[in-house]
Amino acid sequence: MIAFISLIYASFYFLVFGKFVEKNARNMSIFVGVGIVLIGSIIFAWLTVAPTTKDGRVFQYVIQIVPNVSGQVIEVPAEPLVTIDEGDVLFKIDPFPYQAAVDRFTASIEQADAQRRLAQLEVDRNQVLVERSAAARRELDRWTAERDGAEAAIKSLEAQLRDAKWKLEQTVVRAPQSGFVVNLQLQPGVAARTFAATPAMSFISDQDKVIVASFSQSSIRKIEAGAPAEMVFALIPGEVFSGTVTHVIRATGTAQIAVSGTIPVMTGAPAAGRYAVRIELDDPELLERLPQGASCTVAVYADVGKPFHAISKVAMRMTAWTAYLTSPI
């Protein structure tokens, strides 16, 4: 677009020097100087009040599926790139050791309950005899302690049983949301682990798609939430879609310092991090059809300098039509 503006000004060369002004070094220098100042001012105003960027993308949440229990995978019902509803089974882990734990705690609870019932019978029997025998008092105290100990053991075992049942349920790994699995490499026989660094699969959620574009720091000086925007998607050439800026994220990772015992080294090299702008399409149904990672060119229009908006609007429509030309790379 800058070249197009320069060509328009250059076309005045023939008009000015052909009919109105004598062609000499002085006049040509003035013509060039005026052109540099004029074109520079137009470009500066244009990029300030109607900035554009080619770094726009459709983002979706990628959920790393990490099982809550470890074990050998015995079944993988999920298929790659096939839409899965929330709660559908992704894969199953061998439940044998977890079922054994449930059975063990269940048996232990039954044993402890039998001990509690026996202790309660002895407590009841010795309460009748306690007034007539000192030995009965000692027996009552002993069986009361036995009963209380059995009740405490039952509570502890019941808590462990609940934990064991929960782990048994976790051997069936289900989809956290509706979406689909990509790059499915998990197969029966693989040992699934509970380490976050080694997820079993990547799950793409089809909820909460967002469009985010990055702009240079100088481009968003006049941009605020609520500003109108236009987008051209490479997947949909020939059309310009409207939207609204919902958030201007004025933060960048280049200024983030992680907690550590190391003192940051300031190299003096410029770190011109770009700021992200979140945009909401006016047509929500279009966003549902766009795949994750779909790229787009984005223009955002500030409340000021509206005459300069026309430059970006023309540029966006030129981009929409040139999108029919598929890049060979």
Under 8 Å CB-to-CB from 229, ≥6 apart: which residues?
242, 243, 244, 245, 279, 298, 299, 300, 301
Judge whether 64 and 154 are in contact, CB under 8 Å. no
pLDDT digits (tens, 9 = 90+) for 85-115: 999 999 999 999 999 999 999 999 999 989 8
Q: Residue 267: what pLDDT?
A: 74
For residue 252 the two structure tokens come to 């960048």
**Which CATH architecture group holds 63-204?**
Beta Barrel (2.40)
Q: Residue 20: what pLDDT?
A: 64
- 10-residue mean pLDDT profile of the chain (329 residues): values are 63 62 67 72 80 92 93 93 92 95 93 87 74 69 84 91 95 93 91 90 88 89 91 91 92 78 75 85 88 92 88 90 72
Per CATH, which fold does 50-60+209-254+272-324 belong to? Elongation Factor Tu (Ef-tu); domain 3 (2.40.30)
pLDDT digits (tens, 9 = 90+) for 257-272: 778 778 777 777 766 6
Judge whether 269 and 254 are in contact, CB under 8 Å. no
Torsions phi, psi for 252 (to 5 deg): -145, 150
Q: State the pTM of this model.
A: 0.71
Judge whether 213 and 55 are in contact, CB under 8 Å. yes
Q: Residue 10: what pLDDT?
A: 64
Residue type, 208: D
Is residue 232 helix, strand or coil?
strand
Q: Nearest to residue 275, comparing CAs of 218, 210, 211?
A: 218
Q: What CA–CA distance (Å, rounded) separates 234 from 51?
A: 19
Query: Terminus-to-terminus CA distance in the chain, angstroms?
Result: 23
Q: Residue 173: what pLDDT?
A: 95
Q: What CA–CA distance (Å, rounded) separates 318 from 300?
A: 16
Q: Residue 30: what pLDDT?
A: 67
